[in-house]
Structure 1
Amino acid sequence: MISLGQAMVSLDLRDLFKDGVALRIGTRAFDILELLIRHQGQLVSKEQILQRVWPDTIVEENNLQVHISALRKALGSDRDLIRTIPGRGYLLLGGEGGFVEDVGPEEVRTAQWHQGVLGNRLPAGVELVGRASLLGEVNAALSDHHALITLIGPGGVGKTSLAVELGRQRLEGQSSAVYFVALAELEHSESLLDAFFQALGIDVCPADPLVFLIQQLAQRSGLLILDNCEHLIDQVAALVEAILRGAPGVRILATSREPLRIGGERSLQVPPLTSPEPDATRDAILRSDSAQLFLRHWRALDCQVASTPDAELDDYSIDLVGEVCRRLDGVPLALEMAAARACALGLYQLVGSLDESMHLLSASLRTAPPRQQTLQASLSWSYRLLSRDERTVLRQLADLDGRFTLEQACNALQRATLSRSCVMDCMVRLATKSLLMVSAQGPFRFYRMLAATRTCLRLGLGAERASDALNPDPRAPDLPSSLANLHAARAVSVGPDGYHARHQRALAVGR
């Protein structure tokens, strides 16, 4: 029998006992435990474990993490005997040879650094068009003592692509470690801290996960990319504020459809790509960023034009490309979807169909996230986060073509029985959430709605009118218990002063 803290292990019986009772941990979990024991406290790489335990099967790394978690749960108070070396593997601090000397903190930090530098958690990047200047501005802002940069803009405008490209450049230059935290697939804030641990390559279940996370980040000099924050905006804002206070050396680049609105944040707008003017020449159309992006995707998908140079496309086709770019306001996601549709319809029919079926445009990539499978889904991602009044104002504003003033908006909304102050507040929030584009002329502000947003509202979201009547405010707060104690944990780790009132209220609801 082998002693592991309060537990005993029998390799012959393949059982783990505690207080004389056999614990059920599963065959795979015991295989992992046996491998760790036989290495007598030496580091066992993840690849070694996967090859030994699943020799004939390809499994995801998270399967391994599930079994490690099961072993730690079985060990109870001795769970720390299984040590994670981030980016490398695991070791057991008690085995056949007795107690094994602990791994020094410097080795752990070195392993963590290399795991981040590898960048194996960055999603696949795409070649950017027309973003060189903005990319330089983001890089300069991160290097200019700004701890938090938030890239804001409407859905499909390319915020994630820009963030991934910046992360890739930093990895290639080995200027810092980069950790990508994907938030879009999180339905509840209770998984928020787990997403951070996963991005950092940490497989632990500490008693106080927030304090542990801040301690880990304080030991690292790197860039955290937080992608798609808008659906958990209050919880992400509270967590980021705690991280920046407790780990001031960390730099954070967030993508969101609205700012986090916390101290020290700098927001940078990611605009649509430039589109050609209605009377633009052939050369001007071909030089525009949106036309270059559309043509690149079209050639990649349509074998009929794949080998045709731009110079050989007739003038009418080029004019139609310019029209597509204007109709879609230079939004990269919409242009990519339209290019896929042009393969079957051709440019002439594509342009003719945009007024009535723009909301049906769908992704060319099967692996695109659900929110980017159609323009309808992209808008719905933002629409479901709105209050009932915000939805009402947004739908009514869809009847206004071109740019408009606040006065014109209030006149258009007279039939909605909303007060002027309510309309004004809703417009401010819609602009903040990138559902209204704002332009300035001296002291005046003008608003406009992207054509894709307007078409989707007019044709694709009519059913929402009925559902709103049944559900007065569909955006109920989502503050599960795992973040309910975030405020208290922050007080322990970074001090009680200076907390944004909005976050205090949000966290109080979770209790």
Structure 2
Amino acid sequence: MDSDAFPDLRAAGVTPREREILWLVGERLQNQEIAARLRLSERTVESHVSSLLRKLGGSNRLALVDAATRLRAGREPRGVLPRPLSSFVGREREIGDLRRLLGAHRMVTLTGPAGTGKTRLALHLAHEATALPPAVLVDLAPLSPGDAVERTFAEALSIAGEEHRLRALIRETLAEGRHWLVVDNCEHVTASAAALLADLLATTGHLHVLATGHEALHLTGEIVYEIPPLPLPALDDPAAVLDSGAGRLFADRAAAVSPGFEVTADNARQVALICRRLDGLPLAIELAAARVRFFAPADLLARLDDRFALLTDGARGSPNRHRTLEEALTWSYELLGEDERLLLERCSVFPGAFDYGTAAGVLAYPPLDPAELLRIFSRLLDRSLISSRHRDGTTEYRLLDSVRQFAYHRLLARGTAEDTRGAAGEARSAAEEAHEQHARHHLRHAAAGAPDLRGRNQAAALLWIDRRSADLRAALRWVLDRDDTTAAWEFIAGIGTAWEVVGCNGEIFDWLDRLLRRPLPDSDLGFRAAITCAVVLSFQDTGRAGEFAGRAYRMVEGETGYGRADDRADHRRALALLVRGWTMLYGPQRAEALEHLNRAAEIFERLGDDWHHALALGNSALALTSDPEATLARLAHAAELFGRLGDHVKRANCLNHMGIRAIENRIRLDDVPAWLAESARLARTGGNDHERLHSELYRATLDQHLGDHAIARTRLAGLLAEFRRIGDLRCAVRCLLGLGRTAAFDGEHEAARRHFTEGTRIAVGLGDVRITATGLRLLAGADHATGRFERAAALLGAAERLDPVPWEGLVPDPRLPAALRERIGPADFEAAFAAGYGTPPARQLDGSGPPLGTGLLQND
């Protein structure tokens, strides 16, 4: 160092060699270490230390340490804060909030998980604030866990003194005038930092403190402000990405390492997904953006499953614990107790949000003490490792995805727990046991909730399934990957006919596809599995659904017959009759379907099973195709029964069926809007989005029949995407046929043909005779309009074979057969009609499509 910078040393006669030794004493090196550093003898160093004590008036070595600290601090401007080289992005709301809090309160603590940007925000506030005095930064990061903090405070404030006097000296310094301290990184020295700050705030009237850490300091008057992750992009277009804090930060940091980088229409979706996968965590986003030098956003996104290998090498000058994402999280993890670490690791088996009751049911097993779980869980919350949010009067918890992946890696690293044994007695790893607990809990809970799905607790039961959908997917995947088909069937067959309430979407079909590669279970579980398959598959493949209905019916043959005293056997028989009639509704055997459904309704009524009685009654109404008024009356009766039971979803379903049957038969059209409006309201109340979509579909169908094709077209296009998304193929067909009708109305006959062809092809695959016949008749109308006259006649023949009595409301033009006879002549019309009558519908459709179903619709 330049000796002129320290005139006091020169005036005291301190030589250059003595000055070198003074600085090393100030670094708390011992004489032996100084001698080695300067290549002197230890005796020479002792001599220079004695000389320094004489010249500077010190009584012991600690006085030299204080002198060196004071002289160094005097050379540097007091209270200098580091200024980051990169720009500050986002946090507008937080900055506004904190400015108000700092103006009104003396003690504010910023909390949040590792990497959320607490230090950066605190420094930004310190540089920008004008209402407070210049801030002094007290960085506690270099201390070891549990260390005293007084020396670090003193050095920041340029205070020198003996250890036992430091607190008093700090108090004296801060008692004069106004002061503002930014105390950073308190998490590993919480107790000592809190004790000192409590003392200082109580004894100094004009001190303001802004602290940062993973948890609150729990001081009187402390205001705790949790720093959330950055806001995520709401949409995937460039403007929306750049309008979010997370997207803006990614773009800014990526442009810094790869000049010219921009968020464009080509990469906006990938950038948005990166920000979402990283939960808006600033450190993770900055580390990811730095990789744009090597990977395009799409490549980055694909590598985020291994983010701890990817997100490394932070900017030089960052604290070591923030140079990689894993180091930042390890810093937090290592401050936990062993029981806190274990609970955090077990929480990683939740794929999304969870409530405390579920966590207690899943995670509280040895060696964790259930009685201690709340305390441990609260500690993880306090330390920002578990995030919380209030939703509809309840509190949900979750791990940020980066925290979850980190914790899961630690759970895997625990290896095999010796005291954890599977059913066969084999040792199981800690991760396997946690997954097993998670899967069993959710599958059992879902099946046990089936009665609630059919009654007055329906809304709560549906809400539970909706919010636990990610857990149920993970649980099914876990048991299926281990070939535990019994556990999977106990869940799926446990819900059974209540899938009609839950809604049959694409996931249940995927699960069944995997399960049905193996034989059904034996005994009662196999019977319930067959019943469930018949119900669920009727939405996608009525032919296959009928096979399972027949299997269930054969299972009960020979058991106690109808009308006898064995109620359990009678209930099984009624279920078999119900699904057998149900699956026949979509084929040509509607008279037989009605007989089965009537018998099922009688048995359920006698047994006092009101819900299944109403279900059989409502389905039987759909078999009364020749008497529309009787259909509506029976559906109204079923709707009333469901209403008494508190089943909003099935009442909505009956009202929807009433609406579409009235439209198709052109009766009571004035009543339809009220039915559909009530259905939509009940669906929302019951928490069933599927029935709400049904009511919107039938409202669009009514608009179309009333001549408002423009509104119908817009609604149907949106609904088609929704029904495809959830896997409701039957309603997707209705949307396609409706869109074809709107196109035909507008004279767009080729577009109409495309819609009718696609819809009819799907209907063939479903095995739904009636809707297939409707599609064929509509397609015949489009062929007539485009000059394909013989083919139009053949399509009418194919439709006639399937369903001789068409729905009046869906026939494109009842005069079409006569028009075709006139156009191509009676003989040619009859020949084409007969050819179509004798040809399976699948062969009538042009173009290539997915594999179709079997039976009458496919073959002779």
Larger RCO: 1 or 2 (CA < 8 Å, sep 6+)? 1
Offset of 1:149 from its aligned partner?
0.4
Distance in 1, Cα, partners of 2:132 & 2:280: 33
The DSSP-based 3-state class of the residue aligned with 1:230 is coil
1:425 equivalent to 2:380? Answer no
Distance in 2, Cα, partners of 1:348 & 1:78: 61
1:295 equivalent to 2:267? Answer no
Distance in 2, Cα, partners of 1:457 & 1:289: 26
The DSSP-based 3-state class of the residue aligned with 1:223 is strand
Instruction: Tell me which residue corresponds to 2:290.
Output: 340
Instruction: Provide, for residues 453-509 of structure 1, a one-character-per-residue CA deviation record: whole Å limited to 9, x for no partner.
Output: 11112235643568999xxxxxxxxxxxxxxxxxxxxxxxxxxxxxxxxxxxxxxxx
2:222 to 259, 265, 270: 265
Instruction: Tell me which residue corresponds to 2:8.
Output: 36
Letter in 2 for 1:349: D
Instruction: Tell me which residue corresponds to 2:90.
Output: 130
Offset of 1:239 from its aligned partner?
0.9
Letter in 2 for 1:246: T
366-375 or 430-439: which moved more? 366-375
1:142 to 102, 105, 110: 102
Instruction: Tell me which residue corresponds to 2:204.
Output: 247
Query: In 2, are the aligned partners of 1:125 and 1:165 still within 8 Å (CA)?
Result: no
Offset of 1:134 from its aligned partner?
1.1
The structure whose residues are more often strand, as a share, is 1
Distance in 1, Cα, partners of 2:85 & 2:21: 22
Distance in 1, Cα, partners of 2:138 & 2:275: 32
The structure whose residues are more often helix, as a share, is 2
325-334 or 196-205: which moved more? 196-205
Change beyond 3 A, Cα 1:464–1:219 = farther
Query: In 1, are the aligned partners of 2:107 and 2:222 still within 8 Å (CA)?
Result: yes
The DSSP-based 3-state class of the residue aligned with 2:295 is helix
Letter in 2 for 1:153: G
Offset of 1:72 from its aligned partner?
5.3
Instruction: Provide, for residues 338-386 of structure 1, a one-character-per-residue CA deviation record: whole Å limited to 9, x for no partner.
Output: 1122321221221111113346411331322111111111111111111
Distance in 2, Cα, partners of 1:115 & 1:286: 39
Change beyond 3 A, Cα 1:235–1:60 = farther
Offset of 1:414 from its aligned partner?
4.6
1:120 equivalent to 2:80? Answer yes
1:228 equivalent to 2:185? Answer yes
Instruction: Tell me which residue corresponds to 1:14.
Output: none
Instruction: Provide, for residues 80-130 of structure 1, a one-character-per-residue CA deviation record: whole Å limited to 9, x for no partner.
Output: 89997998879xxxxxxxxxxxxxxxxxxxx99x944xx424353643222
TM-score, structure 1 as length reference: 0.68
The DSSP-based 3-state class of the residue aligned with 1:364 is coil
Distance in 2, Cα, partners of 1:337 & 1:351: 13
Instruction: Tell me which residue corresponds to 1:75.
Output: 58
Distance in 1, Cα, partners of 2:21 & 2:86: 25
Letter in 1 for 2:213: S
Instruction: Tell me which residue corresponds to 1:485.
Output: none
1:411 equivalent to 2:370? Answer no
Letter in 2 for 1:210: R
Point out the structure with max Rg over C-alpha: 2
Distance in 1, Cα, partners of 2:190 & 2:322: 20
Change beyond 3 A, Cα 1:334–1:40 = closer
Instruction: Tell me which residue corresponds to 1:15.
Output: none
The DSSP-based 3-state class of the residue aligned with 1:208 is helix
Query: In 2, are the aligned partners of 1:84 and 1:202 still within 8 Å (CA)?
Result: no
Instruction: Provide, for residues 28-63 of structure 1, a one-character-per-residue CA deviation record: whole Å limited to 9, x for no partner.
Output: 9xx99x96376379xxxxxxx9xx949xx9x99965
Instruction: Tell me which residue corresponds to 2:666.
Output: none
Offset of 1:273 from its aligned partner?
0.3
Distance in 2, Cα, partners of 1:438 & 1:271: 11
Query: In 1, are the aligned partners of 2:110 and 2:212 still within 8 Å (CA)?
Result: yes
Distance in 1, Cα, partners of 2:251 & 2:170: 45
Change beyond 3 A, Cα 1:188–1:467 = farther
Distance in 1, Cα, partners of 2:64 & 2:278: 57
Offset of 1:416 from its aligned partner?
4.4
1:152 equivalent to 2:111? Answer yes
Letter in 1 for 2:255: R
Query: In 2, are the aligned partners of 1:221 and 1:249 still within 8 Å (CA)?
Result: yes
Instruction: Tell me which residue corresponds to 2:660.
Output: none
Query: In 1, are the aligned partners of 2:90 and 2:248 still within 8 Å (CA)?
Result: no
Distance in 2, Cα, partners of 1:370 & 1:265: 29
Instruction: Tell me which residue corresponds to 1:443.
Output: 393
Distance in 1, Cα, partners of 2:70 & 2:363: 56
Letter in 1 for 2:11: H
Distance in 2, Cα, partners of 1:448 & 1:192: 33
TM-score, structure 2 as length reference: 0.42
Offset of 1:189 from its aligned partner?
4.8
Change beyond 3 A, Cα 1:78–1:183 = closer
1:383 to 333, 344, 354: 333
1:166 equivalent to 2:116? Answer no
1:215 equivalent to 2:187? Answer no
Letter in 1 for 2:97: E
Distance in 2, Cα, partners of 1:358 & 1:37: 51
Distance in 2, Cα, partners of 1:301 & 1:211: 48
1:307 equivalent to 2:260? Answer yes
Offset of 1:411 from its aligned partner?
2.6
Contiguous gaps of at least 5 residues in structure 1:
1-27, 42-48, 91-110, 470-511
1:203 to 157, 160, 169: 160
Instruction: Provide, for residues 174-220 of structure 1, a one-character-per-residue CA deviation record: whole Å limited to 9, x for no partner.
Output: 84131101111111554521111111122333652111111111124
Change beyond 3 A, Cα 1:461–1:334 = farther
Distance in 1, Cα, partners of 2:289 & 2:65: 52
Change beyond 3 A, Cα 1:61–1:139 = farther
1:256 equivalent to 2:209? Answer no
Instruction: Provide, for residues 264-286 of structure 1, a one-character-per-residue CA deviation record: whole Å limited to 9, x for no partner.
Output: 10000111001124x54442122
Instruction: Tell me which residue corresponds to 1:100.
Output: none
The DSSP-based 3-state class of the residue aligned with 2:316 is coil
Change beyond 3 A, Cα 1:378–1:287 = same
Offset of 1:418 from its aligned partner?
3.4
Change beyond 3 A, Cα 1:72–1:241 = farther
2:270 to 320, 329, 332: 320
Identity between Structure 1 and Structure 2 (%): 28
Change beyond 3 A, Cα 1:204–1:123 = farther
